């Protein structure tokens, strides 16, 4: 089941997605998280953020909306407090997810996390739809996304994976711009901008107005975008968006994903990733798959 992501070997391709797994140690109280390929920890910014006002979670059929707004303690506290606790329960390289509100902020935060020995990859989020003045505003413009890549690559040594937004007309143009600027990999998709309205108050359910849709509803969209981006670039793709089973992992890899992140499923069932990993050998046997490396991009001609 092993795969290699940007030069780093994973025991399996299953990765809990940022924002759904905290900094890992909460889940370590439930099961041995060393069974994971790796995980992407909570989105980290230069300064602490309290996030958006409540309510910031809304349920819907086949998924959920969130507008958490990158709540996190800031990079100084993450390095000083969160990563030492994580190191006691997770003994593999971890993926550091980074957000920012300027090119300079992205570079500052990435440089500091890059220096931490447990960080194996930097996942640079240019796709958060729930903050103003940052996140998705970089990911919807190929030139802006490329400027973040160049700034981060100039101050880091570890692989840089750009996390792309689906809230664009052409995700391929953004992906290619990131590759041309020096990105080592791409992860996609982040949540899809969406809304629910409360029939009693006749107002949006979320205080932010809109939120990011995740869960099974977005899976076919994510598969399509991973397929398209895989065809257009030569760097590894991490597929995510609505993945909730071992079969979904196989489908995403056939579309072109080297590794696969699991997001909203962790919020519904904290054992989701453990159970998906346990189910993978049986699904591989069912579909006569001997090694997962061999099926990456297998759906392409």
Supply the residues annotated as catalytic.
128
Residues pairing with 5 in the sheet: 8
CB 160 within 8 A of CB 153: yes
80-102: b (≥16 Cβ within 10 Å) or e: eebbeebeebbebbbbbbbbbbe
Residue among 155, 61, 56 at smallest CA distance from 103: 155
CB 243 within 8 A of CB 265: yes
Residue among 136, 134, 130 at smallest CA distance from 164: 136
Per-residue tokens: 118: 């447990």
CB 14 within 8 A of CB 273: yes
Distance CA 252, CA 261 (A): 10
């Amino acid at each position: 089941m092993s795969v290699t992501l940007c030069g780093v070997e994973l025991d399996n391709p299953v990765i809990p997605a940022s924002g759904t797994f905290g900094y890992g140690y909460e889940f370590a109280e439930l099961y041995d998280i060393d069974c994971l390929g790796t995980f992407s920890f909570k989105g980290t910014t230069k300064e602490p953020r309290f996030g958006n006002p409540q309510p910031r979670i809304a349920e819907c059929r086949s998924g959920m909306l969130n507008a958490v707004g990158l709540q996190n303690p800031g990079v100084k506290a993450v390095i000083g407090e969160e990563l030492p606790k994580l190191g006691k329960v997770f003994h593999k390289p971890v993926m550091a997810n980074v957000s920012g509100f300027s090119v300079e902020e992205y570079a500052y935060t990435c440089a500091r996390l890059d220096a931490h020995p447990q960080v194996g990859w930097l996942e640079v989020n240019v796709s958060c739809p729930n903050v103003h003045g940052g996140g998705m505003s970089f990911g919807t413009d190929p030139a802006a996304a490329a400027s973040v890549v160049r700034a981060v690559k100039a101050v880091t040594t570890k692989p840089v994976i750009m996390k792309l937004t689906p809230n664009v007309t052409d995700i391929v143009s953004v992906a290619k711009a990131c590759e041309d600027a020096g990105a080592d990999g791409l992860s996609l998709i982040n949540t899809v901008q969406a809304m629910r309205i409360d029939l009693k108050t006749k107002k949006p359910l979320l205080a932010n107005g809109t939120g990011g849709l995740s869960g099974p509803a977005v899976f076919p969209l994510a598969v399509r975008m991973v397929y398209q981006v895989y065809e257009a670039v030569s760097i590894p793709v991490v597929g995510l968006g609505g993945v909730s089973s071992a079969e979904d992992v196989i489908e995403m890899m056939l579309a072109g994903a080297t590794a696969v992140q699991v997001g909203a499923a962790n919020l519904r069932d904290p054992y989701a990733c453990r159970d998906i990993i346990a189910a993978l050998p049986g699904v591989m046997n069912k579909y006569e798959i001997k090694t997962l490396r061999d099926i990456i991009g297998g759906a392409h001609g």
